[in-house]
Homo-oligomer: A and B are copies of this chain.
């Protein structure tokens, strides 16, 4: 024990932005690991979820709803199309667009992912009793709500 090897500096330990970050990292580690069991990443889940809830849509619309950039959406759709979890077809009514539609296999995959995700949330929130979980959700919702979609 040369130097006491103290833990994180004061300044960082209670810094809200840093705490939020570390929590997010933890959450991501857990969620990514869960999704990896199905060979999928977060973008894939978000896209499938958006597709199932809103029905077929253009890539641009899906991007707006999921917060995925247009350019990243291309790759994400490519991935899922390869696995036949969705279909990409040109929109006859607007030839700029592709209409993306979830397949039956996609729906099945999504159901699996839902289960994995739910388990991951539970692991993430393990230290908090139900009341506190809701509390956290409320606080975070207010935060992200206030700062809105400032993607610049």
**Is A71 in the interface zone, CB < 8 Å from B?**
no
Which residues of A7-35 are within 8 A (CB) of B?
7-12, 14-17, 19-31
Residues of chain B contacted by A8 (CB below 8 angstroms): 50, 65-67
A30 and B17 contact, CB distance less than 8 A = yes
Residues of chain B contacted by A114 (CB below 8 angstroms): 11
Which residues of A94-152 are within 8 A (CB) of B?
114, 117, 120-121, 124-128, 132-133, 135-137, 139-147, 150
Chain A contact surface mostly: helix
Copies of this chain held together in the complex:
2
Residues of chain B contacted by A147 (CB below 8 angstroms): 26, 124, 127
Contact of A26 among B11, B29, B126, B144 (CB under 8 A): B144
A binding-site residues for B, Cβ under 8 Å: 3, 5-12, 14-17, 19-31, 46, 49-50, 52-54, 57, 61, 64-67, 114, 117, 120-121, 124-128, 132-133, 135-137, 139-147, 150
> What's the minimum C-beta distance from A18 to chain B, rounded to whole angstroms?
8
